Structure formats: C-alpha cells, structure tokens
Amino acid sequence: MKLYSGPLSLFSRKVEIALAEKGISFDRVMVPFSQAEGYFPKHPDVLSANPKGQVPVLEDGDLTLFDSTVINEYLDEAYPDPPLLPTAPEPRARCRLLELAADEILLPMIARLMYRTEPADPDPARQREREADGERAESVIEAYYGTMEGHLADKEYLEGMFSVADISLFMDVLFAERLGGPPLDRHAGLTAWYARLCGRPSIAPIVAEIAEADRILSR
C-alpha cells in the first residue's frame, strides 16, 4: 500500500491516522509543498490519479483512490478491525454527518485563518481584509465548539466509539490551534476530548510531525 501525503495536508493526515489505527503498514510519499507556492510542482502520480491534483491518494494493489472520506470508508470495509464507523445504521449515519460537518462546515472557517502561516499580502488593504475575515471566522468556530461540547456531553468520543468523526474534528481543532483560533479551554469537555486524542498512539506522532513542519515551512 502507498499513500501520497503532504506535510500540512489535513486530509492526508486523516488517512494516516486511520491507517495507524488499523495497524496497516504503508509507504508514504510526501509531495512537495511550500507556503508561498502550495503543492508545486504537482506530483505526476497524484495528477494522474486525482483530477483535482490533490493529496491524499491511496494505492492498494491495483486500486487507486482519492478523497479522504472515500479512502477511510474503503479502509473500514476492506480492513474492518478495529472499526472506525459504528455498525448500526443510525449511529453510522450520525457519524458520517459529523465527519461531513467537520470537513464542509467547520473547516472552511478554519481555512480563513490559514493566511497566518503564509507570507503577508504585499497589498496592505488586502492583508487587512484577510485579517478581518479571519476574525469573523473565529466567531463561527467558537460557536461550533459550543455545539460539539454539547454533543460530547459525558461521552469519551463523539459517537461513543473512536471513529472517523473524531479524526475529522480532531484535525480541524488541531489546525485551528496552530493557526491561533479561538481558545479551546473555554469548553472543558472539548478540551478533555482533544487532550485524550493528542495522546493517542495513532495521533501523537502526527501532531509532532505537523509542529515540525510548521517550524520549517510556516511564517
């Protein structure tokens, strides 16, 4: 098995966590990345596999997949132990919705903070607008944290078991933290959940790798 990944690719790291949880060995190819130019030059194998030219791309024998959600659902079906999705239809559907919300509702707000690791815009007016947009996004992130705090209640994980929903939300919170997002410690339950996941064997090395990549690559 081979995974094309990126040092600061949130979606690739979701797949890496799933592979580690399942104890699947794989070869990792880190594609070129810089804060100034992004993923350039594009890796030819990624370009040929994914019409978007983006990582992650997974090769498992003759099968080639892209998109972190598609990849992780494949891994859960092809390598079911341990499971990363509930088996019953209702909690399985809730888990998928939580992952979808993390990827498509929360993450776009966090993306508005990514300018903080990139070179400053040479146009001061555009830079001020980026900063104002980031401040507006922070209020949405803060509200989302409150929603997730309520969803967790007294549960250890979002759907009772560690799942793809936890992986997706964790990566969002990690990126919000590294980008100077709203303080997590206003939400005790979410803070405790985040600390538990930071210490998980599948996650701790990735947190360390991203911190090191930031030291090398980020403003």
The 10s digit of each residue's pLDDT in 140-165 is 999 999 999 999 998 999 999 999 99
Domain of 170, in residue numbers:
89-217
Residue 68: inside a domain: yes
> How far apart are alpha carbons 131 and 128 in whole angstroms?
5
- Residues 106 and 172: beta-carbon distance below 8 Å: yes
pTM score of the predicted model: 0.95
Residue 176: inside a domain: yes
Residue 84: inside a domain: no
Residue 65: inside a domain: yes
Residues 58 and 103 in one domain: no
> How far apart are alpha carbons 4 and 12 in whole angstroms?
8
Residues 74 and 98 in one domain: no
Question: How many helices and strands (H and E) does the chain possess?
Answer: 9, 4
Residues 104 and 212 in one domain: yes
Residues 42 and 102 in one domain: no
Residues 148 and 169 in one domain: yes
- Residues 16 and 28: beta-carbon distance below 8 Å: yes
Residue 154: inside a domain: yes
Residue 8: inside a domain: yes
Residues 120 and 190 in one domain: yes
Residues 61 and 103 in one domain: no
Could you give phi then psi for residue 50, rounded to 5 degrees? -125, 120
- In this structure, how many other beta carbons lie within 10 angstroms of the beta carbon of residue 84? 22
**Domain's final residue, options 31, 56, 78:** 78
Helix axes 164-178, 10-21, angle to 10 degrees: 140
Residue written as tokens 């888990």? 95
Residues 66 and 139 in one domain: no
Could you give phi then psi for residue 27, rounded to 5 degrees? -90, 130
**Domain's final residue, options 59, 78, 97:** 78
Residue 34: give its domain's CATH number.
3.40.30.10
Residue 83: inside a domain: no
- Alpha carbon of 147 to those of 68, 139, 144, 151, 159: distances in Å? 24, 13, 5, 6, 14
Residue 178's pLDDT band, with cuts at 50, 70 and 90, is very high
- Residue 219 predicted with pLDDT over 90: no
Across the chain, mean pLDDT equals: 96
| Residue 38 pLDDT | 86
> How far apart are alpha carbons 179 and 23 in whole angstroms?
30
Residues 191 and 106 in one domain: yes
> How far apart are alpha carbons 165 and 83 in whole angstroms?
12
**Domain's final residue, options 78, 111, 131:** 78
Question: What is the percentage of the chain residues whose pLDDT exceeds 70?
Answer: 100
- Residues 91 and 158: beta-carbon distance below 8 Å: no
Q: Is 61 left (phi over 0), alpha (psi -120 to 50) or beta?
A: left
Joined together, the tokens standing for residue 198 give 């930071």
Q: What is the tally of structural domains in the chain?
A: 2
